[in-house]
Chains A and B, each alone.
Chain A
C-alpha cells in the first residue's frame, strides 16, 4: 500500500478532469500543491513518450525525490497519471486498466461532455476502491 499517492486524470489541453488523493497517509494541505506541481511537470515527459511508443502504460516516466510518476495514455490522449512512492508496477498497471474501463463508461454517458470534470460520486468511490486494492 502506497503511503503517498495522488491520481489525476488529465484531459486534452492539459485540463485536469478528476483528482483524488488516494494514499494511506494523512492528508496535508500543502501536499496537494506539491503533487499537482509534480504531475503537471511530468506532462512534458509524457508528451515526448506518448508519440514514441505504442504502449498505453508508461511506467516511471518521471521522478521527484522519492516520488515516481506513472502514466497511462488512452487512445483519445487522456492521461491517467499516478504519483506514488511504492514500487508496484503490476498493481499500478492493473489499477490503470480498470480505471480506464470506468472512464470509458463515463464517456458512454450521453449527458457527459468529454473534457469536462467528472463529478460522479460512483466513479469516485470505484476509483478509491481500486486504489486500495491494487496500489
Chain B
C-alpha cells in the first residue's frame, strides 16, 4: 500500500489534471525553434513539470499552505478542441502496433516459467507500453465541455523579434484565435506576452526597442524576453537530452542542436517564473473570488431553501435555452470551475465541498454526463485525500452513470474505469481492479484485448496469485488481438498463458492453446516454432473426429509452408509401443523360418547341448587365431554376419480417430568399420548413449564412401485407433560395429518423425543364455558385424500340418548352401525321435511309397545291425555343400500320439577357412496336429492246457470323427511268436471297414516257438508268413508289409522305449504292430493330405497270467481193467511251470470227495475253461454195457464209499525255479468201472521275489475225465 499522492494514479492525476495554457505564436517563432528539430510547444514541454516549486497558496481559508509539485500543460490553440474519434483510434492502434513490432524478436523464446513470473517485481509484470496506451486513451477525452480542468487558464502569446510590427501581431494573434464559441469557456483569461529573440539573426537593438514598446503597451509584468539559438555552430550534443522522448532514436542527437546550456537554463527559468508568478497567483485569486460569490448565493440554510424554490421554477421552462444547458456564466459552471481550480491547486477539501454543491443539481436536471463527471472528480479527490471506500463508491456511481448513457458515454466510462482500476491497484485491490478492466472491455476488439490483458496482470498480482484467471484472461485477450490482426500480441499473450496451462490435464484447454498459437506463429512466418507447438496437439485422441481432421490438416499445411522437411524427435503420431520391441538376428544360430526364431532359446539350447562343441574349446581356438579383443567382444555384444539382416519388430498405434498414412518407416543405424573404432567402442563407458539434443547425422559411415548397410522401408496406413506390428530390417554389408539408434518415419511427405532407443529396454529374443553380465539397454541394439559366412538354408518338402495317429510319411529334407565357401561335418538332431527318423541313404527310392515297404521288394534294407545308441544323426563324411548345391535326405515321419506336437530340428555344420566363427546351426521348427485314429489294446491269456500257446484278444476303437479305416494286417515283432486267426476274416469284419466310433474285438492265437522247458536263446527261424496275419479278404490282391525293414523297425524301437520302462528284452512280453489304411470314400477327410498307411504299435504286452504257475495233468483218457482179479491202479503225471521271476514253492493236495462234490465240480466245469470231451455216442455205448453187467451189486455199498482214491502221497511239496518246468508223478486207485473227474486236488503256491516280499495263493484243479471200462 503506497501513499496516494505517490502512487501511479497520483502521478497520473498530477500530470493529467493540471492547468492548460493556450499557446499562440507567429510562424517566425516556429521557424526559430524548428532549427532544433522541435516545435515551440515541444521545446517548452519538458520544462513544465515542477517537482519543487514551493509557492505559498491561500484559497478559501486563512490558512496558508505551500505547493510542492505543480504541472502545466501547453497546447496550441488549434489543438484545444474535442479530438476526432477516428484519428484517436488510429493513434491508439499505432501504439499497439509499434509495441508489437518491438516485441517481435522475443516471440521465438520459450514461455516463461510461472515461478519466474511470480518472482518478478510488480512494475515489470505488465508491459511498459500499457501506461502510454492508457494515457493516450485518457487524452481522447480532452477538452470536454462538461469538465473545467481542461479549459485554458492562461494564454501565452509569442512573437518573434523579426516580425513586422510585433505589437500589432500580438493583438492580431489573440483576436483571430478566439476560444471555442460554444460559450462554456471563460473568455477573459490571463494573457502573457513573450518576445522571442534569435541570437543567430536579429540584432539586440531592435529587440530592446520592441520589448520596451510591449511593456508600455501591455504592462511591465506581463512581458518577457526569451533569447534562443545561441550556438553559432549548431552541433551541440546534450548528454541528457530532455527532448529524447519526442522523436525516434534516429535523429535524437540532433534535437536541440542550436541551443546551448545557457539557453536551456533560460527556458527553465522562464517557465518557472511563468508558473509561480502568473499562473498560480491568477488561479488563487480566481478561486477566492468564486468562493466568495458562491458562498453568498448557495451556502447557508436560507440560500438552499431559495435555490430549491428557484430551481423548481426552472423545470417549468425546459426549452428555454436552445444551446448548451450550462453556459460559462451559469451558477453550476461557476461551481464546477471553482472545484476544478481548487483540485488543480491541491485544495481537495474545497474541491469536494464544491462538487457536493452541484451534483444534486445535475441529478435533478438529469444532466447525466455532468453528474457522472462530478462524481468522478469526487472519487479522485477522495483518493488523493486518502479516504478509502468513499472513492470507490463515487467511481462506481460515475461508472454506472456513464454506462447508462450507452455509446456516447462509453469513452467517459473507459477513462473513469482506468482511473478506478489504478485507484484499486494502489490499494492492492487487484482482484477488484481486474473486474473493472473487464467491465470496460466494450465491443471494440482491440480495446477489449488491451483491457483483458491488464485484467490478467491484476490477477497475477493478487495475494495469492489467481493463476487460473490470469491464464484465462490472457487467452481471451489473445483471441481479441488475433481478431484485430495483431498477431504478435496474440502470440505474446498465449505464450504467457501456456506458462500457466503447460502441465494441465484439461485437454480442451491445452489443445486450444497450442493449436491457435501454432497457427499464429505460422502467420508471422515462424514455421519451425509453429510446428513445435502444433506437435503437442497431435495426440488429441479424445477430441471429435472433425476436430482431429482440422488439427491435422492445419498442421500439415503449416509444415508444407516451411518448404523443407521437419525432423521431429519424439513425434507422437503414431505412438510407438516400446514394450513390443523385439530384435531377431542370427549369429552362429540361424533360422529356417519366422516360427523358428520365436521359439524360446532354452529349447534350442537343450536340443543342441550334445551337438555343438563346448565353449572352452571354442575359446581356446579363438585364442590361438585372434587377438584378445575379439573374444571379449563376442562375450559382451551381439554378433551378426555381414550380408544377413537384423530384424526389428515394433508396434505402431494411431492415437487419432482418422486414418493416417505413414511412409518410409526405417531404422536409424550407425556402422563404424575399422578396428581402431572397435577399440574406441571398447573404451567407451557403458552409460554413454546418444542424446536427442545432440544433432548428429544419422546413417553415417565412418570409412566407406558408399553405404555399408541397407535398410528396409515400410509404408502402411493406420486406421483410427489401429495397431500394427511392423518389421524393419537392416542388412550390414561391411564388418564393424552396428548400432540401431532409432526409428524414423514420414507423415504427408513433409514431417519426419524420429524416435531414439537409448533409454528403452529391449527384449532381445536371441540373447545368449550363457552370458553372465546382464544386458544393458544400449548393448541390446549394438552388434558386432563379422565377415560374410556360409549360411545353410533348409526346408522339409510337403510336411503336413494335420495327421492321423499312426500315419507314416516319407519326407525329404533339403539343405542348400548358396555361398561359395564349403561346409562340412554336418550333423542333425531331432527333438522327437519317436516322430521323425532320418533315412539311411541319400538316393531316391526306386519304388513308390508305400509299396516300397511291402514284402518281396528287393530294395528293402534290413536294419538289424544298425542300433544307434546316440541321438545325434551324423551325415556321411563326404557330404559337403557349396556353390548353391543342395542335399536331399530322406526323412520318415510317423505320428505317434494324438495332440499338437512341436518338432524342432537342429542342423550343425562347420565352415572351412573361416576363423571368426567355427560352426553354425540351422534351426527349423514345425508344428503338427495329430488327430486320433484307431486305438488298440491287447490282452494275452495263457492257455491252461497247452503251455506254449496263448490267446490274444485285440480291441480296436475308431476314434476318428468322420473317417473310416480299413484293417490291413497284424504282426508280431520278432521271430519267436507265431500268430494265427481263430475266426475267418469275413466273420470278424463283414463290412471290411471300421466306421467312425465303431469298436471291434478280434481273437488270435500266438504260439511260442522256442523249445519247451528250456531257456535257450537259440530258436529256429520261423517262416515270415507265420508272424503276420492278413486281415483283409482273400479277394484283395495285396501284399503284406515287412515290419522288420526300415522305417517300421526304427519306429518300433522308439515306441518300445516310450511305452515301457524296461530296456532289456523280456521273455514274458510280446509286441504287436497293426497296420491299417484309410478307407476310400467320397466324402472329404478331416486330414487334407490323405494318409497311405498307418501303423499302430503296441509294446510290452505281458504273456504272464495272474497266477505265477501253470500246470497240466497228463494221463490216459480211457482204460480197460478186469475188476474181478484186483483193483485198478492208474499212473498219472502232472507238469507244473513257474512263470514268475521268483522261486515258487508248490504244494499238491489231493482230496477224496463224495460223489455229490464230484458232481458239483463237474457241473461247474461245463460253464467255462478248456476241456476235451469225448463224443456222446461212444460214451453211451460204454455206459450201457457196464450197467448191465453189474446188476447184482447191492446199492448201499456204492453210496457209502468213494469211487476212487488218490493212492500216492496225499501232500507233495516241491520248489520250482523261475521260468522252469517240473513233473510230478501221481497215482489213483479205481474200484469199479465208470467215468471219473480227476479235479479233486488243489495247488498251493508261495512265491518269493527277489526282494523280501512274498505272495501266495491257491489254484483249483482243472476238470480231467477218466473213463474206466471192464475188460472182457
Residues in chain A within 8 A of chain B (CB atoms): 14-16, 29, 32-33, 36-38, 40-45
Contact = CB atoms under 8 A, between A and B. Distances in A.
Contacts of B504: 14, 40
Interface in B467-520: 467-469, 471-473, 475, 504-506, 508-509, 511-512
A32 B547 CA distance: 12
A29 B472 contact: no
Interface in B424-473: 459, 466-469, 471-473
Residue from the set B467, B472, B512 with the largest chain A CB neighbour count within 10 Å: B472
Given A16-B506, A29-B546, A40 B512 contact: no
B544 A29 contact: yes
Contacts of B506: 16, 36, 40
A41 B473 CA distance: 9
Contact of B469 (A14, A15, A29, A44): A44
B472 A38 contact: yes
A41 B508 contact: no
A25 B609 CA distance: 74
Residue from the set B475, B505, B508, B509 with the largest chain A CB neighbour count within 10 Å: B508
A37 B473 CA distance: 9
A124 B1262 CA distance: 88
A14 B544 CA distance: 24
B505 A15 contact: yes
A44 B544 contact: no
A37 B467 contact: no
Contacts of B467: 44
B812 to A, nearest CB: 58
Contacts of A41: 468-469, 471-473
Contacts of B505: 15-16
Contacts of A16: 505-506
B468 A33 contact: no
B466 A36 contact: no
A15 B507 CA distance: 10
Contacts of A45: 466
Nearest to B467: A44
A36 B475 CA distance: 12
A45 B506 CA distance: 18
Given A37-B472, A38-B472, A44-B468, 7 more contacts: A15-B505, A32-B508, A37-B512, A40-B471, A40-B472, A40-B509, A44-B466
Contacts of B472: 37-38, 40-41
A36 B513 CA distance: 12
Contacts of B544: 29
A70 to B, nearest CB: 17
Chain B interface size range = 10 to 19
A33 B508 contact: yes
Contact of A44 (B459, B511, B546, B547): B459
Contacts of A15: 505
Interface of B: 459, 466-469, 471-473, 475, 504-506, 508-509, 511-512, 544, 546-547
Contacts of A44: 459, 466-469
Nearest to B473: A41
B870 to A, nearest CB: 58
A29 B551 CA distance: 13
A14 B467 CA distance: 12
Given A32-B508, A33-B508, A40 B547 contact: no
Contacts of B471: 40-41
20 contacts: A14-B504, A16-B506, A29-B547, A32-B508, A33-B509, A33-B511, A37-B472, A37-B509, A37-B512, A38-B472, A40-B468, A40-B506, A40-B509, A41-B468, A41-B471, A41-B472, A44-B466, A44-B467, A44-B469, A45-B466
A42 B468 contact: yes
Nearest to B438: A64
B546 A37 contact: no
Nearest to B515: A33
A64 to B, nearest CB: 9
Contacts of B473: 41
B475 A37 contact: yes
Contacts of B511: 33
B469 A36 contact: no
A72 B506 CA distance: 19
Nearest to A38: B472
Contacts of A36: 506, 508-509
Contacts of B469: 41, 44
B515 to A, nearest CB: 10
A14 B468 CA distance: 10
A36 B501 CA distance: 12
B514 to A, nearest CB: 12
A1 to B, nearest CB: 24
Contacts of B509: 33, 36-37, 40
Contacts of A33: 508-509, 511-512
Contacts of B468: 14, 40-44
A45 B504 CA distance: 18
A33 B551 CA distance: 15
A14 B471 CA distance: 14
Contacts of A43: 468
Nearest to B497: A37
Nearest to A15: B505
A36 to B, nearest CB: 5
A27 to B, nearest CB: 9
A37 to B, nearest CB: 5
Residue from the set B473, B504, B546 with the largest chain A CB neighbour count within 10 Å: B504
A68 B509 CA distance: 19
A33 B540 CA distance: 14
A52 to B, nearest CB: 14
Residue from the set A32, A38, A43, A44 with the largest chain B CB neighbour count within 10 Å: A44
Contacts of B466: 44-45
A33 B467 CA distance: 18
A45 B472 CA distance: 13
Residue from the set B471, B509, B544, B546 with the largest chain A CB neighbour count within 10 Å: B509
A85 B505 CA distance: 25
A33 B507 CA distance: 9
A32 B511 CA distance: 11
B433 to A, nearest CB: 15
A20 to B, nearest CB: 13
A3 B547 CA distance: 23
B1153 to A, nearest CB: 83
Contacts of B459: 44
A74 B624 CA distance: 78
Residue from the set A38, A41, A42, A43 with the largest chain B CB neighbour count within 10 Å: A41
A14 to B, nearest CB: 8
Nearest to B465: A44
A82 B1038 CA distance: 91
B490 to A, nearest CB: 16
Nearest to A32: B508
B134 to A, nearest CB: 24
B215 to A, nearest CB: 67
Contacts of B547: 29
A44 B547 CA distance: 29
B752 to A, nearest CB: 30
Contacts of A29: 544, 546-547
Contacts of A40: 468, 471-472, 504, 506, 509
A127 B72 CA distance: 67
A85 B512 CA distance: 23
Which are the 10 A-B pairs with shortest beta-carbon distances? A44-B466, A41-B472, A36-B508, A41-B469, A33-B508, A44-B468, A33-B512, A43-B468, A41-B468, A44-B469
Nearest to A11: B505
A120 B1089 CA distance: 53
Contacts of B512: 33, 37
A43 B467 CA distance: 9
A112 B504 CA distance: 22
A38 to B, nearest CB: 7
A62 to B, nearest CB: 9
